[in-house]
Amino acid sequence: MKQWYSIRRQLLITMLSLVIALLATLTYMHIRSQQAFLAKELAYRETLMREKTIQRGQSLSDNLAHQVAIELAVFNLSKIYELMHTAVKDEQELAYCLLIDADRMVYFHTQQPELEYETLSTKEAIFAVAQEQQTQQTLERNGEEIVEFIAPIKISIEQWGVLRLGFSMAKVTAEIAHSRQETEEQIRGMVITSVITAMIFLLFGFIIVFMISTKISKPLIELTHSARELANGNFSTQIHVQIGYQNEVSVLATAFADMAKNLEFSYKQLEQYNKAYERFVPRQFLSLLAKQSVLDINLGDQVEREMTVLFSDIRDFTALSETMKPQENFDFINAYLSRMEPIVGKHHGLIDKYIGDAIMALFPTNADDAVRGSIAMLKVLFEYNQERQQAGLLPIYIGIGLNTGPLMLGTIGSETRMDSTVISDAVNLASRVEGLTKIYGTALLITEQTHLKLAEPLEYHIRVIDVVKVKGKSEEVTIYEVYDADSPATMALKEQTRDDFEEGFVLYHWEEFNDARPFFERVLQVNKNDKAAQFYLKRCKYFQKYGVPYDGNDCLK
C-alpha cells in the first residue's frame, strides 16, 4: 500500500509539473505577445500623431508661403503681418512665424517681435536661407521640441527669403506620454488577469491529475514505459512487473517480454541485411529512384535528370599490378578505393561502379559538389602517397574527368538478375576527358558543361586546356584544368603563367603557330614542368614544319 501511494505521488508531481510548465509557458507567451502588440500599437499611434502634425504643418506652410509671396510681390507688409498673426492665433500648435529675407534680416517674428529688422546669424537661420525647396528641421527651445517648416519665398524667379513656421510638439509629447501610461496600465491588468486564469486552470488540472493518478497501477506504468523504449529501438529494455498472482496483467507482461526478444532478434538480422544490401545498392541510388528499400526496386525502374559524372583511373596501373601478387593487387586496390569512397559520399555523390582500379561516380545535386569532391580526392591521394613512400612503396597518380549533362539512371537485366546502370553521352564524354589527363599531364579536367554549371567558378583555380571533338559528334567541347589540388608552389606558377598560356592557346587555335610559340616558351621559362605547355610547344613546332593535316582539334576517341 505504501508503494502504491509513492507511485501515485510521483505521477502526480510529474503531471502537475508538466501542467505548471505548460501553463507558465502559455501565460508567459500570451503576456509577451500582448506586450509586443501593445508596444507596436503605441509606436504606431506615436508615428501617426507625429505624421498628422507634420502634415498639418506642411499644409499650413505651403498655403501661408503662397499668400505671403503674393502680398510681398505688391509689398503689402501689413497684410503679411495680419496673415502670420492670424495663423498663430488659429493654430494652437504653431509656436511662431518668422519671415526673413535672403540676407537673414527679420521682417516679422510673431514670438520675438524685438528681433524685427535685425540680421540673424544663428546656424538655424543660415541653414534656412540656404534652402531652395521646402524642408524642415527639428529644434529644441527651452526643453521643448520644435519642428520648423521652411518655405522659400520667391518673387518672379528670384528667391527673396524664407518663411519659417515653428510647430510645438508639446501636445504630441503629452499625448504620447498619456498613451504610454494607458498601455502600461493595460499590461498590468492583463498580467493580473492571466495569472488568475492560470491559477484557476492549475486548480482544475490538480483535481483531474489526482483523479487519474489514483486509477493507474504500477504494472501498466512499467509496461507502458517498456513499450515506449521498444518503440524507440531500445530492445534491451527489461520488463520489471512483479505480481504475486497470475492475472491478465502478468500474462500480458510475459507475452510482451517474449515479443521484445523476438523483435530484437529480427531487428538485428534486418539491420545486417540492410548493411549488406547497401554495399551493392547505395542508399542514394534508392533515393534517386524514389524507393524506400531495395525490395521496392523493379526491373526497368529509371529516372532521367542532369548530373555530373566523375571518372577516375590510376595511371600505369597495368604495369604496377604486374609487380604484385594477386592478393597484393586486391589489397592495394581496396586500400585505395576505401580512401576515395568516403570522399565521394561526403560531397553528396554516389559510386555507380568500380571498374577495376577505375571509379565511376555520380553527383546529382550540383557540379560544385563534383569539383570539390575531386579536389578532396586528390588531396587524400597525396596523404596516401606519403604513407606509401614511408613504407618504401612508389607513389601512385590518378586522372579525374568530369562532365555534366542529362542521363538516365535505372535498372537493367532480367527478373532473376538485375543491375543498376547509367545511360548517357555525358558518361562517355566524362570517360574520354579522363583519358586526356594523361596527354596533358593534369590531374583534373572538366568539360565546358561542368564549368558553366559551377555556382562560384571564381572559387577555383581554372585554366582552359583544349578544344576537342567527340568521336561521332560534330560539335566541339572545351576542356578546362582545375589545379586546386596541386602543390602550393605549382599552383602559384600556373597562376603566374595562366595569361600567357591562354594567349598562346588562342593563337594556337587560330593556327598562328609562330605567334603562339613565344607564349608557351615564356610559360616554360617560369614553370618548366608544365606538361600542357610542353605539349602545345611541341605541336606548334610540328605544325610549323609539316603543316596542319586536320582542323587543329583533337578527337576524343
pLDDT tens digits, residue range 256-265? 666 666 666 6
User: How far does Cα 5 stand from its chain's mean position?
Assistant: 55
In a domain? residue 73: yes
Q: Which of 429-438, 446-455, 548-557 shows the lowest per-residue confidence on average (mean pLDDT)?
A: 548-557
Residue 2: other Cβ atoms inside 10 A:
5
Q: Which residue has the cell 505504501?
A: 2
The whole-number average pLDDT for the span 397-423 is 74
In a domain? residue 369: yes
Helix (H) or strand (E) holding 536: helix 531-546
CA distance 40 to 85: 39
Higher pLDDT, 229 or 94: 94
Model confidence band, residue 370 (pLDDT cutoffs 50, 70, 90): very high
Q: Which residue has the cell 533515393?
A: 287
Q: Pick from 484, 505, 521: which residue ends a domain?
A: 484
In a domain? residue 555: no
- Looking up residue 343, the CATH number of its domain turns out to be 3.30.70.1230
Model confidence band, residue 272 (pLDDT cutoffs 50, 70, 90): low
Highest mean pLDDT among 217-226, 292-301, 414-423, 494-503: 494-503
Question: SS3 helix, strand, coil % of the chain, rounded to 5?
Answer: 60, 20, 20
Structure confidence at residue 110 (pLDDT): 84
Structure confidence at residue 164 (pLDDT): 86
Structure confidence at residue 420 (pLDDT): 58
Structure confidence at residue 410 (pLDDT): 61
Q: Which of 224-233, 345-354, 361-370, 474-483 shows the lowest per-residue confidence on average (mean pLDDT)?
A: 224-233
In a domain? residue 509: yes
SS3 call for 295: helix
What pTM was estimated for this model as a whole? 0.52
Phi and psi at residue 446, to the nearest 5°: -130, 155
pLDDT above 70 for 3: no
In a domain? residue 526: yes
Structure confidence at residue 221 (pLDDT): 63
Q: Are residues 312 and 423 in the same domain?
A: yes
Model confidence band, residue 340 (pLDDT cutoffs 50, 70, 90): very high
SS (H, E, C) 150-206: EEEEEECCEEEEEEEEEEECHHHHHHHHHHHHHHHHHHHHHHHHHHHHHHHHHHHHH
In contact, 291 and 297? CB cutoff 8 Å: yes
pLDDT above 60 for 298: no
Phi and psi at residue 239, to the nearest 5°: -100, 110
Number of domains within the chain: 4
Structure confidence at residue 226 (pLDDT): 66
In a domain? residue 147: yes
Structure confidence at residue 481 (pLDDT): 95
In a domain? residue 553: no
Q: Are residues 332 and 466 in the same domain?
A: yes
Q: Pick from 484, 505, 531: which residue ends a domain?
A: 484
Q: Are residues 274 and 306 in the same domain?
A: no
Q: Are residues 370 and 421 in the same domain?
A: yes
Structure confidence at residue 250 (pLDDT): 59
Q: Pick from 204, 227, 258: which residue ends a domain?
A: 204
SS3 call for 340: helix
The whole-number average pLDDT for the span 542-551 is 76
pLDDT above 90 for 386: yes
Higher pLDDT, 244 or 503: 503
Structure confidence at residue 5 (pLDDT): 47
Q: Report the share of the chain in percent with pLDDT over 90.
A: 27
Higher pLDDT, 252 or 179: 179
Q: Are residues 470 and 501 in the same domain?
A: no
Question: 454-491 pLDDT, tens per residue?
Answer: 998 999 999 999 998 866 566 789 999 999 999 999 99
Q: CA torsion sign, 229 to 230 to 235 to 237?
A: positive
Residue 93: other Cβ atoms inside 10 A:
16
Helix (H) or strand (E) holding 311: strand 302-314
In contact, 83 and 72? CB cutoff 8 Å: no
Higher pLDDT, 501 or 134: 501
Highest mean pLDDT among 8-12, 335-339, 378-382, 420-424: 378-382
Structure confidence at residue 276 (pLDDT): 44
In a domain? residue 556: no
Helix (H) or strand (E) holding 499: helix 488-509
Q: Are residues 411 and 524 in the same domain?
A: no
What residues contact 490, with CB distance under 8 A and at least 6 apart? 483, 527, 529
Structure confidence at residue 556 (pLDDT): 43
Q: Are residues 37 and 144 in the same domain?
A: yes
Question: 154-200 pLDDT, tens per residue?
Answer: 877 788 888 888 888 777 777 777 777 777 777 777 778 877 887 88
CA neighbor of 260 nearest in space, from 236, 277, 241, 276: 236
Q: Are residues 474 and 447 in the same domain?
A: yes
Q: Are residues 415 and 526 in the same domain?
A: no
Model confidence band, residue 211 (pLDDT cutoffs 50, 70, 90): low
Structure confidence at residue 150 (pLDDT): 87
The whole-number average pLDDT for the span 431-442 is 92
Question: In terms of residue numbers, what domain contains 350?
Answer: 286-291+301-484
Structure confidence at residue 540 (pLDDT): 92
What residues contact 351, with CB distance under 8 A and at least 6 apart? 282, 341, 344, 359, 360, 361
Higher pLDDT, 119 or 526: 526
Question: 305-333 pLDDT, tens per residue?
Answer: 888 999 999 988 877 888 888 888 888 88
Structure confidence at residue 153 (pLDDT): 85
Model confidence band, residue 2 (pLDDT cutoffs 50, 70, 90): very low
pLDDT above 50 for 359: yes
Residue 405: other Cβ atoms inside 10 A:
18
Higher pLDDT, 38 or 508: 508
| Amino acid in position 467 | V
CA distance 530 to 212: 82
Q: Are residues 439 and 325 in the same domain?
A: yes
Q: Are residues 184 and 255 in the same domain?
A: no
**Hey, what long-range contacts does 286-292 have (CB within 8 A, 24 or more apart)?**
288/364, 288/409, 289/409, 289/410
Which residues lie across from 311 on neighbouring strands?
A: 360, 401
- Looking up residue 180, the CATH number of its domain turns out to be 3.30.450.20
Structure confidence at residue 252 (pLDDT): 62
Q: Are residues 505 and 535 in the same domain?
A: yes
Structure confidence at residue 550 (pLDDT): 52
pLDDT above 80 for 398: yes
Task: Give me 72's grid cell.
Answer: 510681398
SS3 call for 426: helix
